[in-house]
């Protein structure tokens, strides 16, 4: 049953050190506010799952939240590398990171299998690909009807799924639209789910076959306007492409990164405060270089 | 010879766009494939169906997406499906004619590396990884690849195979059970390569105007084979160039500094 | 690529004797008009697939169209038995019918696997159920990760899928909403697809994540208003519950059934003509008893 | 004793409805389970979540559906999903508290037959078959069953097991690997049966007012066990009866002749 609580309460109550946590959002609706709150509360030893770890996971990894990363594409979309992600993998900074790497098709199937209560997924994949040599979780299986050999991959079943959505109603039913990624599957595969939303309305007034998460599959709904920025929320605000570009400079150097995180995330009370701190930084023309 | 009025990247994008036909269903990678696919749509292939792995089907962006899931892709799509559905029903389901990929590195059999430079466990350079590419390379009817040709991209041996091309050549794909035909063409800033019908080793089949086979051989990390008949790519038409430049200009304006 | 053609042309050109044909629609949007046209054109030896064979399959079976039936629930919803279905299974009339019986969960998974280009589906099912004793297509499989034993069932991959939808646009893109059943999966699992629609519009104007079948996965779009009656089309007309009830009497006796089919289906030119014939029959107070 | 002002079917439906709690997530079969579930929703359990296998989640029909996929179920639902999603994510995914089933026949361990009377290959009576029941019986947290008690429904040996109850008793379900706890109660027109905690054989635990255990024994096809303490179901309240009758009256009006 969804509780309508603050993001601080939700992260404090529902995410524990050592948990397997999937913050999902495929370019769209990335749960930045929730990620910041995880960093702010100094969660540790998380196994982080995400198809497309981007800036928010770069921040979480760089701030020492993660012990393991399950992922299928790690980059700054349209910009280049994720420097904190690379530094963790290439140089063990700030700590060694166990890499559990898969393909998109694998993780998409693995979330769907998790949501379906199955221990594994079957797919056509990984033929001629070197990942199975390095990831023992990727196996194969023979079709009992045709004899074809297919890939078998373990389900993703996180302790906690974290997503951002456009709307919830006062009971905690959640509506999202546009590029919906694997968010529904992530929530249904997880034991607990935290959803931040742009607004809470009396009634969702959703189209008949819209993507809805009923209140009884969600643990907490938290009102966090702009909670996906610098990602975007269709119908609310666009992608802050400049921030993605700026991140390349902010994150390249460990000290610059730490200073930025300390100033804007660790020293702010919540996401609204973080947004105010960015406006202040911009107006003073702070150089990130 | 006068300096051409177009860049090598423009020629590459235009040459790639020309390979796409109207009514093809094309699964588009971000970056160069996306630019070429949309140029095709805005010129000779208005009814081409463009699909991005973010779930956007039949999308018609007015500006190029910076990410694989830009709002522009969603807003202009015929429909938007979930990512599991995209990979299960549309790609693995065999509904894609062309998978259009970029690459960090390629070998002579058009196998692709986008994972690591150096050893996997302790990479020299950690690249973004697989994304959707391995299964696009496996399941799409055929695969087009576009990348700049150079010593760091056209390598003798890949440190890691992320997406299968023709594996070790010949009928290796078929024997491995892959459904799609694999890479049928590689478009670079120098020219065009196609797999030899039997060995499946890439051969240079065309050069863009002003380039020489010696240039191509020099920047290729293996002993590059040259087709018996080496074509010359027709230079960009004025319409192609104007459409591509207008697309890039709109894109830069829309994305602000990020794409400037 | 979708051709906008008449239903007569579509059935004649796309369904061949001996084909595996799935006419789908889960209570809602049942393709009655298309089923009638299959009967009218005297298609033979079809392997019919459908989760819920109801009146339209009762009619097709009774008129000798089918050699095999793949199904998971065969009844007249809210009324009782399907008499032609029972007569075929119990008494081989009008011809023996090979029964390939599954559960709903099985067929739903099997269609999804077919749409996914997989030869089989994995599910939790059939434990303690007697069907696998009678249907050798139902097998089991061991999870390579947990050792759990799960059911494995072959994909459904029809030659032709036939569905009814609310709308198409002039290019042949199809929109359906409400109870959408397994129609998308049936179309994507099939080699060819015929879609009858209530109306053809200039633009679908669909909500962002609506259930859409792009024109390039559909072989033929046929304009057939009321084409789902006596089933219903949300947004257009309700279910004709009286017809479902009347069917019990019409279909109970072989001769009454044949007379009814000959008068209303075999002797009519198309679905509009069929509907006119029903109005005529009602105004003359014809007794079905 | 005066004639009661309610029918045996009404008592059965009301007794079944009372077992449902507010906030339960209930996967509802058509017919008696649907009537009982909606009665619960309209009386003591306004926030119960009703799910039908047609894909309708959180549905609040004003009249009882005649079919499992009536427009009324879609129009009043919180959301409508595809049938594969329903069976995969919602039922098999373990999101259902109660699976509420009817049955043609039941045995002492609450196994259910809805497939055939007589041999499978040449049945005397061909019943509709499985539908969603086998996997509801397997995957729902627990299962409620409602059916009229009689010689043709409560049988010694089922000709066919369609949906697993407690199989051959004891911990057979667990050994077979079924996720859900299986049938926890059977409500009939005569009374209420529950599986014995250890043997899992059904025991009569309550009688509806006016019925006797001899009646129940007489119409049961096996030697019916009676619980040590045999309760009497409280008779319908006026509110329950009025709500149920109003629901049936609305339903009959809405469905015309079919439900008259």
Tell which of C216, C217, C218, C219 to mutate to test the B interface (max B CBs under 10 Å): C216
Q: Please answer yes or no on whether A178 and C208 come within 8 Å at the CB atom.
A: yes
In contact, A124 and C100? CB cutoff 8 Å? no
Mean pLDDT for the stretch of residues B51-62: 97
The DSSP code for A237 is B
Q: Please answer yes or no on whether A148 and C211 come within 8 Å at the CB atom.
A: no
Q: Please answer yes or no on whether D130 and C211 come within 8 Å at the CB atom.
A: no
Closest partner residue to D138 among C85, C89, C124, by Cβ?
C124
Percent pLDDT > 70 in chain C is: 97
Pairing of strands B79-80, B56-57: antiparallel
Closest partner residue to A75 among B125, B128, B132, by Cβ?
B128
- Alpha-carbon separation of residue D95 from A113, C125, C151, C213, D49 (angstroms): 14, 16, 20, 29, 11
In contact, C59 and C36? CB cutoff 8 Å? yes
Nearest Cα of chain C lies from the Cα of A154 at a distance, in angstroms, of 7
Structural domains of chain C, with CATH: 3-102+157-266 (3.40.1080.10), 120-154 (no CATH)
D107 touches chain C (CB under 8 A): no
Percent pLDDT > 70 in chain B is: 98
**What is the pLDDT at residue A285?**
45
Look-up of token digits 């194969």: A140
Mean pLDDT for the stretch of residues B218-233: 97
A247 touches chain B (CB under 8 A): no
Q: pLDDT tens digits for A92-140?
A: 999 999 999 999 999 999 999 999 999 999 999 999 999 999 999 999 9
Closest partner residue to A119 among C146, C154, C209, by Cβ?
C146
Residue of C nearest to B24 (CA): C216
Q: Please answer yes or no on whether C185 and D84 come within 8 Å at the CB atom.
A: yes
Backbone angles phi and psi of B4, in degrees to 5: -70, 155
A143 touches chain B (CB under 8 A): no
Mean pLDDT for the stretch of residues B14-29: 97
Structure tokens at C106: 């099985």
**What is the pLDDT at residue B260?**
33
Mean pLDDT for the stretch of residues B55-65: 97
Percent pLDDT > 70 in chain D is: 98
In contact, D163 and D101? CB cutoff 8 Å? yes
Q: Evaluate if residue B109 carries a pLDDT over 60.
A: yes
**What is the pLDDT at residue D63?**
96
Q: Please answer yes or no on whether D134 and C126 come within 8 Å at the CB atom.
A: yes
- Chain D residues with CB inside 8 Å of C112's CB? 84, 88
Residues of B annotated as catalytic (active site), given as ranges: 53
Q: Evaluate if residue C285 carries a pLDDT over 60.
A: no
Instruction: Respond yes or no on whether ipTM tops 0.85.
Output: yes
Q: Evaluate if residue B1 carries a pLDDT over 60.
A: no
D79 touches chain A (CB under 8 A): yes
Tell which of D57, D76, D84 to mutate to test the C interface (max C CBs under 10 Å): D84
A 249-278 near B (Cβ less than 8 A): none
Q: Please answer yes or no on whether B257 and A242 come within 8 Å at the CB atom.
A: yes
Q: pLDDT tens digits for A77-86?
A: 989 999 999 9
Q: Please answer yes or no on whether A145 and C124 come within 8 Å at the CB atom.
A: no
Q: Please answer yes or no on whether C108 and D87 come within 8 Å at the CB atom.
A: yes
Q: pLDDT tens digits for C202-241?
A: 999 999 999 999 999 999 999 999 999 999 999 999 999 9
**What is the pLDDT at residue B214?**
97
Mean pLDDT for the stretch of residues B107-120: 97
**What is the pLDDT at residue D255?**
84
Q: Please answer yes or no on whether D128 and C124 come within 8 Å at the CB atom.
A: no
- Count residue pairs from A and D with Cβ separation < 8 A: 40
Model confidence, pTM:
0.97
Q: Evaluate if residue C286 carries a pLDDT over 70.
A: no
Structure tokens at D24: 């339960």
- Chain D residues with CB inside 8 Å of C239's CB? 66-67, 70-71
Closest partner residue to A148 among C119, C124, C137, by Cβ?
C119
Closest partner residue to D53 among C104, C109, C125, by Cβ?
C104
- Chain C residues with CB inside 8 Å of B25's CB? 216
Q: pLDDT tens digits for C131-184?
A: 999 999 999 999 999 999 999 999 999 999 999 999 999 999 999 999 999 999
- The SS3 call for residue C260 is helix
Nearest Cα of chain A lies from the Cα of C165 at a distance, in angstroms, of 14
Q: Could you give the count of Cα atoms lying within 13 Å of D53 in the half-sphere of its Cβ?
A: 30
Q: Which chains touch A (3 or more CB pairs under 8 A)?
A: B, C, D
Look-up of token digits 């990164």: A257
Query: Which residues lie across from B173 on neighbouring strands?
Result: none
- Chain D residues with CB inside 8 Å of A1's CB? 23
Q: Evaluate if residue D32 carries a pLDDT over 50.
A: yes
B80 touches chain C (CB under 8 A): yes
Average per-residue pLDDT in chain D? Answer: 95
A 89-118 near D (Cβ less than 8 A): 112, 115-118
Nearest Cα of chain A lies from the Cα of B87 at a distance, in angstroms, of 6
CATH number of B8-254: 3.40.1080.10
- Chain C residues with CB inside 8 Å of D96's CB? none
- Chain A residues with CB inside 8 Å of D74's CB? 208
Q: pLDDT tens digits for D83-97?
A: 999 999 999 999 999
- Chain C residues with CB inside 8 Å of D139's CB? 124
Q: Evaluate if residue D190 carries a pLDDT over 90.
A: yes
List the one residue out of B150, B145, B136 whose CA is nearest residue B185: B145
Pairing of strands D116-117, D225-232: unpaired
Cα gap A270→A33, rounded to integer Å: 8
- Count residue pairs from A and C with Cβ separation < 8 A: 69
Residue of B nearest to C117 (CA): B93
Helix axes C254-261, C241-252, angle to 10 degrees: 120
Query: Which residues lie across from B204 on neighbouring strands?
Result: B193, B226
Look-up of token digits 């799609």: B180
Cα gap A280→A274, rounded to integer Å: 10
Q: Please answer yes or no on whether D79 and A212 come within 8 Å at the CB atom.
A: yes
A27 touches chain B (CB under 8 A): yes
**What is the pLDDT at residue A283?**
54
**What is the pLDDT at residue B259?**
37
Q: Evaluate if residue D258 carries a pLDDT over 60.
A: no
Residue of A nearest to B162 (CA): A129
Q: Evaluate if residue D260 carries a pLDDT over 50.
A: no
- Vertex B194, ends B193 and B199: CA angle to 5°? 125
Q: pLDDT tens digits for C85-144?
A: 999 999 999 999 999 999 999 999 999 999 999 999 999 999 999 999 999 999 999 999
Q: pLDDT tens digits for A28-68?
A: 999 999 999 999 999 999 999 999 999 999 999 999 999 99
Q: Which of C13-22, C47-56, C261-270, D250-259 has the lowest mean pLDDT?
A: D250-259
Average per-residue pLDDT in chain A? Answer: 95
A203 touches chain D (CB under 8 A): no
Per-residue pLDDT band for C289 (boundaries 50, 70, 90) equals very low
Residue of D nearest to C149 (CA): D177
- Contact residues for B31 (Cβ-Cβ < 8 A; gap 6+): B102
Pairing of strands B225-232, C220-223: unpaired
B125's enclosing H/E stretch is: strand B125-126
**H helices present in chain B, as ranges:** 8-18, 32-42, 71-75, 83-85, 133-139, 172-176, 213-219, 238-255
Q: Please answer yes or no on whether A207 and C145 come within 8 Å at the CB atom.
A: no
Q: Please answer yes or no on whether D179 and A117 come within 8 Å at the CB atom.
A: yes
**What is the pLDDT at residue D256?**
73
C122 touches chain B (CB under 8 A): no
């Amino acid at each position: 049953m969804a509780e309508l609580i603050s993001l601080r309460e939700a992260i404090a109550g529902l995410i524990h050190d050592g948990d397997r946590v999937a913050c999902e959002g495929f370019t769209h609706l990335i749960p930045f506010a929730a990620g910041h709150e995880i960093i702010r509360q100094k969660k540790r030893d998380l196994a982080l799952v995400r198809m497309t770890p981007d800036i928010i996971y770069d921040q979480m990894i760089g701030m020492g939240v993660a012990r393991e990363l399950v992922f299928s594409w790690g980059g700054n979309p349209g910009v280049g590398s994720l420097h904190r992600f690379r530094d963790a993998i290439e140089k063990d900074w700030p700590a060694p990171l166990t890499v559990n790497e898969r393909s998109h098709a694998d993780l998409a199937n693995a979330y769907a299998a998790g949501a379906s209560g199955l221990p594994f997924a079957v797919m056509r994949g990984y033929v001629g690909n070197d990942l199975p040599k390095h990831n023992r979780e990727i196996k194969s299986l023979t079709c009992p009807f045709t004899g074809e050999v297919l890939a078998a991959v373990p389900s993703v079943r996180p302790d906690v799924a974290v997503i951002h959505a456009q709307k919830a109603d006062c009971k905690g039913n959640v509506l999202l639209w546009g590029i919906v990624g694997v968010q529904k599957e992530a929530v249904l595969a997880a034991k607990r789910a935290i959803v931040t939303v742009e607004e809470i309305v009396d009634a969702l007034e959703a189209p008949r076959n819209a993507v809805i998460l009923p209140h009884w599959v969600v643990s907490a709904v938290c009102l966090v306007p702009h909670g996906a920025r610098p990602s975007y929320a269709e119908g609310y605000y666009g992608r802050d492409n400049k921030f993605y570009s700026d991140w390349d400079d902010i994150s390249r150097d460990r000290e610059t990164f730490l200073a930025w995180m300390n100033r804007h995330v660790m020293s702010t009370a919540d996401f609204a405060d973080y947004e105010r701190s960015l406006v202040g930084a911009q107006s003073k023309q702070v150089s990130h270089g | 010879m006068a300096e051409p009025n177009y860049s090598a990247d423009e020629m590459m994008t235009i040459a790639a766009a020309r390979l796409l036909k109207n009514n093809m269903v094309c699964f588009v990678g971000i970056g160069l494939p996306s630019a070429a696919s949309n140029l095709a749509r805005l010129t000779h292939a208005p009814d081409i169906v463009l699909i991005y792995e973010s779930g956007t089907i039949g999308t018609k962006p007015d500006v190029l997406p910076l990410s694989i899931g830009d709002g522009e892709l969603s807003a202009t799509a015929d429909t938007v499906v979930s990512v599991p559905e995209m990979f299960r029903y549309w790609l693995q389901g065999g509904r894609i004619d062309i998978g259009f990929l970029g690459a960090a590195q390629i070998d002579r059999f058009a196998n692709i590396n986008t994972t690591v430079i150096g050893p996997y466990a302790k990479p020299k350079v950690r690249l973004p990884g697989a994304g959707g590419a391995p299964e696009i390379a496996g399941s799409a009817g055929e695969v087009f690849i576009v990348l700049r040709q150079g010593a760091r991209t056209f390598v003798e041996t890949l440190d890691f195979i992320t997406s299968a091309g023709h594996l070790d050549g010949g009928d290796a794909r078929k024997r491995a059970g892959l459904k799609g035909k694999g890479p049928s063409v590689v478009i670079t800033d120098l020219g065009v390569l196609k797999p030899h019908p039997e060995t499946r080793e890439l051969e240079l089949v065309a050069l863009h105007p002003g380039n020489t086979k010696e240039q191509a051989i020099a920047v290729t990390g293996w002993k590059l084979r040259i087709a018996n008949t080496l074509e010359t790519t027709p230079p960009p038409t004025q319409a192609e160039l104007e459409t591509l430049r207008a697309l890039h200009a709109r894109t830069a304006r829309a994305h602000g500094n990020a794409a400037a």
